Every structure is written in C-alpha cells, then in structure tokens.
Amino acid sequence: MSRTYFDRSAPIAALATPEGRSALAVIRTSGEKAIALVARCFSRPQALLSAEGYRAVHGWIFDPHLQERLDEVVALVFRAPHSFTGENAVEIMCHGSPAVVQRILDVLYAQGFAPALKGEFSFRAFTGGKTDLVRAEAINELAQASCEAARQDALLRLTGALSRTLEEIRSLIVAVLADIEARLDYPEEEGPDEMAHWVQSIQRAQDELSDLIRSYPGGRLRQEGVLVVIAGRPNAGKSSLFNLLVREERAIVSPEPGTTRDWLESWVSIGDFAVRLVDTAGLRNSGNAVEAEGVRRSHALLDRADMILYLVDGTVGLDDEDRTFVERHPGALLLWNKSDLPQCMPAPQGWTAVSAKDVHSFGGFESMLKDHLSTYVQKTQSVGQYEAQVRIASERQEHLLRQAYEALSQAMEAQAAGAGLDLVALHIRESAEYIGEVTGDIAPDEVLERIFSTFCLGK
C-alpha cells in the first residue's frame, strides 16, 4: 500500500536538488529517528549522534551491508523542534552525480527511511505547526519563481504578509459574528446603531478581500510568467521568429508549409519578465490527423495566451483566414514579416513590418515587444484601487477568497431584506471558514494532500 502524507511516523528521505550532474547535491531526511538512522551508515556515528543542532559533521557515507565507502560528505544536523519540519533532520551534502545520489538513497532506504512524497517536508512543517498553509505554498512558489518579480512576491507571502492580511480580515468578520451571536443570546439589549457598525465592518472586510482577489491576475502573471504565443498561417515565419527570440535553432524552419505540427515552447527573459514563448503549428484545417491535432492544440493555447504575436508573410499578403483571426483576437500584435525581401508589400495600417531573417532590425522589434509586454503587465497588475503590495498567485486562494466575499454579500443581502439575524450570522460564519481554509486553519485532509502533492520533490 502506498504511503500517505499523514503517516508521520515514517522517517523520510529525498534528493532536494535537481537530478543530473552537479558539483554537489543535497539529500534531505526528516523524522524522529533521522539522526540515528543516518549514523548507521556514517563513518563517524558518534560525532553525528552527539552533534548539537545546526552542526556540520564531515565524514563518509558507507554501505553497512557491503562495507563499502560511497562518498565523502558533510552532514548537517538539525534537532527538533529547530528544523524546517520541526522534527530531527540530517541534510547530507554529497557529490552531485546521479550514481552517487542513487547509492546513498538506496542505503538510506535500507536503514528504514521511506522515499519522501512530493511536498512532504513542507507538509510536516505545516502539520507540525511550523508554518501556515499560505506560507507553505509561498515556499513552493519561491522555489518555482520564474523571475525577479515572482521572487519578490513569494518572499512577501513567505514572510507572512498575506497571512497577516487574511488574519486581519478574519478578525473583522469574527468580531461582527461574536456581536451578532451575543445579540441573538440577549435580544433585549438591542441597539439600533449596532447594525450600522456591523455593516461598515463587513464592507471593509469585503473591500480588502476584493483587493486581494483583484491582485490575482497580476500575481499569477508574475509567478507563472507571461504566455506569449506566435500564430499565423503556415510559412509566415513563426518558427524563424521563435528561434530568433530564444536565440537558438530550436524550431525546424522550412519552406515546406506544415513543418511545425506540434507546439514548441521555451522560456526567455524579456525585460523583467519571464516569458513562456510558444511556437504553434499553422492554423489551417487539414485532412492530416497529426496536423489537425496540432491545430487544435494551437487554438487551445491561443485561448490562454497573455499575448499573441500574429505573423503574416508580407510577400503573400492577407487572406480571409488572417482577417478572421485578427477580428477574433483584437489584442494581438500584428507583424508583417519578411520585410527584408524586395517583393514584400508595404505593411497595412495596424501592422508592423519585421524580418525574422534580419538580425539587425531585431533589436528594434525586441524593444517594441518589451514595451508591449510591460504595458500589458502593468495593466493586469494595477487593477484595483491601489497597486496591491501583497498579491496572491494561487488559484486555490483566489477561489476561496471569492467564496468568502460572496458569503459576505449574502449576509448583507439577508440583512437588507430584513432576514433573521441567525441567517445573517450563518453567512458570516461561512465567510470566516473560507478564509480559514486559505490559511489551513480549517482544511480537509484530501485538500491538503492535493496542495502538497503539487510541490517539488524534497521540498
């Protein structure tokens, strides 16, 4: 039977650095017996067993069964509760080859460590009370930050700024709830002013929730990068432009239309932002099944794109397919390609002449793209009355905050319609519970499993 996150009795181990070759790799372990178990395959067991927390101990990892040395390492000792998970832990810094790492992991498993599940270290930190859910998610967001802006946002959430904001909103709501419940218990002490005061508090809570909800598109954009999709008819020069932007011959360029049948993607930095650049297959309908699938995927990506670069071969000009596309995607950046060729026609109004073959004109194109991107990103970020300091980037959080907001609206509506106070209280309590779910104060087990299983291995 496979282990679950809730099996906290098992000592766990996992590689915390990427697989592959590197100078050093870090293998992480955690569990009440972690230090004793590592000591069984460590050349200086006493040094490890007697080490204080935060001490680095030099030695060898060996295979006790074969009596064979595996690698020279530095073992970092953490003593409960002063560790990331709150449990005893040893982090082993070994040499970074897959062969070394695999042998060490095998030996650790043989001593009784279980392979850690994705996010299990963070899960233990959460259930051990070392962090709330918002901060645990921020750790993962920080580990996956694709650019400087994402790092800044995740760090702010990690330091508790979002948790504090949520706590303030929740306190506002809970205070109103307590008042209403007192009034339900002692109806004779009614005061007419009280209602106005509650309404004010609920409105304030809604305003703050609304700011957070509105920060989501910008936060997501910063966290996940900007999705830029290159589209156009076959042979327009999409793959050539893609290669130019990623500065690599990634996509196959060919005069044969329909060469790119699947989409290709690559990360590039444009300005301060991480861009997920996608080269799509042509958009024409085709009888060929593989090509048709490529076309279907292209459309799916276009629906999600933050920005579309639409290319036309300037030596061929516009056709109905191009016109339909432009009508459907009014925000697309329209590029009139192959301007280096003498037979290229003048770019029509609204189109920018470019050449995917002329590296000299490329600088100008790239800076135009940069401007376009930064306008887009700014527009997405500055929704809301103020430039939100604390942003959310998680769909889960956004969804729950929306529900919390909705529940408060229902409470206000019930109050305005003269419904009983018990009904008003019911909606307000619901709202407080949604916020509790964001921070993890109230979170069903399967929700927790789902969240942590999206984390990196060894995190």
**Quick check: 338 binds ligand GDP (CB under 6 A)?**
yes
User: First CA to last CA across the chain, in angstroms?
Assistant: 23
Residue among 29, 83, 163, 260 that touches ligand GDP (CB under 6 A): 260
**Quick check: 17 binds ligand GDP (CB under 6 A)?**
no
Residue among 259, 286, 352, 380 that touches ligand GDP (CB under 6 A): 259
**Quick check: 30 binds Mg ion (CB under 5 A)?**
no
Q: How far is the CB of 284 from ligand GDP (least distance, A)?
A: 11
For 196, the token pair is 């106005």
Considering only 49-57, 254-262, 335-343, 386-394, which stretch makes contact with Mg ion by CB under 5 A?
254-262
**Quick check: 280 binds Mg ion (CB under 5 A)?**
no
338 binds, among Mg ion, ligand GDP, none (CB under 5 to 8 A by kind): ligand GDP
Site for ligand GDP in 199-238 (CB under 6 A): 232, 234-238
Measured CA to CA, the distance from residue 10 to residue 20 in angstroms comes to 27
Beta carbon nearer to ligand GDP, 119 or 237? 237
Q: SS3 string of the chain? A: CCCCCCCCCCCEEEECCCCCCEEEEEEEEECCCHHHHHHCCECCHHHHHCCCCCEEEEEEEEECCCCEEEEEEEEEEECCCCCCCCCCEEEEEEEECHHHHHHHHHHHHHHCCEECCCCHHHHHHHHCCCCCHHHHHHHHHHHCCCCHHHHHHHHHHHCCHHHHHHHHHHHHHHHHHHHHHHHHHCHHHCCHHHHHHHHHHHHHHHHHHHHHHHCHHHHHHHHHCEEEEEEECCCCCHHHHHHHHHCCCCCCCCCCCCCCCCCEEEEEEECCEEEEEEECCCCCCCCCHHHHHHHHHHHHHHHHCCEEEEEEECCCCCCHHHHHHHHHCCCCEEEEECCCCCCCCCCCCCCEECCCCCHHHHHHHHHHHHHHHHHHHHHHHCCCCCCCCCCCCCHHHHHHHHHHHHHHHHHHHHHHCCCCHHHHHHHHHHHHHHHHHHHCCCCCHHHHHHHHCCCCCCC
Residue among 165, 239, 381, 431 that touches ligand GDP (CB under 6 A): 239
Beta carbon nearer to Mg ion, 16 or 354? 354
Number of residues that bind ligand GDP (CB under 6 A): 20
Residue among 240, 381, 394, 397 that touches ligand GDP (CB under 6 A): 240
Beta carbon nearer to Mg ion, 11 or 232? 232
CB-neighbour burial class of residue 339 (10 A; exposed 0-12, middle 13-18, buried 19+):
buried
Q: How far is the CB of 293 from Mg ion (least distance, A)?
A: 15
Considering only 82-90, 231-239, 267-275, 420-428, which stretch makes contact with Mg ion by CB under 5 A?
231-239
Q: How far is the CB of 321 from Mg ion (least distance, A)?
A: 16
**Quick check: 131 binds ligand GDP (CB under 6 A)?**
no
**Quick check: 280 binds ligand GDP (CB under 6 A)?**
no
Site string for ligand GDP, 356-385 (x = CB under 6 A): xx----------------------------
**Quick check: 355 binds ligand GDP (CB under 6 A)?**
yes
**Quick check: 298 binds Mg ion (CB under 5 A)?**
no
**Quick check: 83 binds Mg ion (CB under 5 A)?**
no
235 binds, among ligand GDP, Mg ion, none (CB under 5 to 8 A by kind): ligand GDP
Question: Across the beta sheet with 55-63, what order do the strands follow?
Answer: 55-63, 68-78, 89-96, 22-30, 12-15, 114-115
**Quick check: 239 binds Mg ion (CB under 5 A)?**
yes
Residue among 88, 215, 337, 394 that touches ligand GDP (CB under 6 A): 337
Considering only 186-194, 254-262, 371-379, 417-425, which stretch makes contact with ligand GDP by CB under 6 A?
254-262
Q: How far is the CB of 279 from Mg ion (least distance, A)?
A: 6
**Quick check: 294 binds ligand GDP (CB under 6 A)?**
no
**Quick check: 28 binds ligand GDP (CB under 6 A)?**
no
Beta carbon nearer to ligand GDP, 47 or 341? 341
> Cβ contacts of residue 65 below 8 Å, gap of 6+?
110
**Which stretches of the chain bind Mg ion, using CB under 5 A?**
238-239, 260
**Which stretches of the chain bind ligand GDP, using CB under 6 A?**
232, 234-240, 253-255, 259-260, 337-338, 340-341, 355-357
